[in-house]
Amino acid sequence: MSALALSVLLSLVSAVAYASGAILQERVAANTPDRPYAPLHHGMWWAAVSLNGVGAVLHVAALAYGPLSLVQPLGALTIVFALPMAALFVGRRAGRTAWRGAIMAAVGLAGLLALTGGTDPRSLDGAERLILAGATFGGVGLLFLTAQLVGRPAVRSVLLAAAAGAAFGIASVFTKTVAVDWTSGSPSAQVPNLLVIAVLAVVGLLLSQASYRGAGLAAPLATVTVVNPVVAAAVGLTLFGEEFRYGVTGTVLALCAGALTAGGLILLTMGRPGDPRDESESSSSRTGAGRSPHGAGPRPGTSSDRDATRSEVVEGVDVGAVTRPRTHLEVEMRSRAVAGGA
């Protein structure tokens, strides 16, 4: 097996591990909303950390055998693998929009794979590493502070996920640097780089965990998988001297493939696993199950009769039953604030 093929295989297995960890992280975020960053008491979170660790080790091994501009885009397959895995293990079906996005992302990544060419490995000098580390910590900090000022959970989630993706991407850049320098220099000289990698990895893990709070699985994960390879591949192409095959033509085709991948990931954020719009048929069948065979109304003992005797708050609307005959039921719609005050 060639070094490039081994790099691709390691990247694929790494993506599966990352997808598994992301599914567990989202479940932990849903179960522990009061601990957005590090729910240390939750065993499932430690399982997610372990899976992310396995993915990181495989990712490092892939970087040792392949170019950064190839390994990082393959990491975007994490969201593609997460769709069927979430449906299989968590019971979240992916709708047509999500699957279209997955196919687009896979085709785009295949294009990047075909166009990526290897170069002689090189490293960053001391000044380049210092500037890159400073710019990364500054950018991640700015995104984090901006997320704290945003009121909308979806926007806050995307900002935190973007910060996590940037941290992971630059950690990969430093990992590639360490892999190149490890055999040519003293291992002790790599201690500063290893510290930067460790800090960026921890920061990325905590920010990604926080990004799943109130946002589901697909949107934060897709943001991380877009920002991560874009940041790392940009550094690889500009600082490491990596390039695409066929000169300018190959570069243009690679940009088109990247745009196709990005479009697919955007569709994935729109078609979230478990989206109620994707389960309309299931909802219709469940509604029909509560009716009588002749359509004359609900069968006795079904949830429709029970709903008439209790109030329920759904999507910020309180639907309260009143003590009148069924033919004169009145529905009171009150705001979330009024319902909470009651």
The pLDDT of residue 296 is above 90 = no
Average pLDDT score, the chain = 74
For residues 287 and 142, the model is more confident at 142
CA angle 158, 72, 102 (to 5 degrees): 65
Q: Which amino acid is at 57?
A: V
pLDDT tens figures, 191-222: 888 899 999 999 998 999 888 887 777 778 87
Residues whose CB falls within 8 Å of the CB of residue 324, separated by 6 or more in sequence, listed in order: 330
Distance CA 187, CA 25 (A): 34
The pLDDT of residue 141 is above 90 = yes
pLDDT at position 142, please?
A: 95
Measured CA to CA in angstroms, residue 126 lies from 102, 182, 247 at distances of 40, 15, 30
- Give 333's pLDDT tier (boundaries 50, 70, 90): very low
> What mean pLDDT comes out for the span 295-310?
44
pLDDT at position 313, please?
A: 42
Contacts 24+ apart (CB under 8 A), 28-35: 28/209, 28/212, 29/209, 29/210, 29/212, 29/213, 29/214, 30/212, 33/213, 33/214
Give the tokens for residue 300. 């006795």
Distance CA 167, CA 244 (A): 25
Distance CA 58, CA 77 (A): 14
Highest mean pLDDT among 20-29, 31-40, 122-131: 20-29
Query: How many CB atoms within 10 Å of residue 133?
Result: 19
- CA 65 to chain centroid: 25
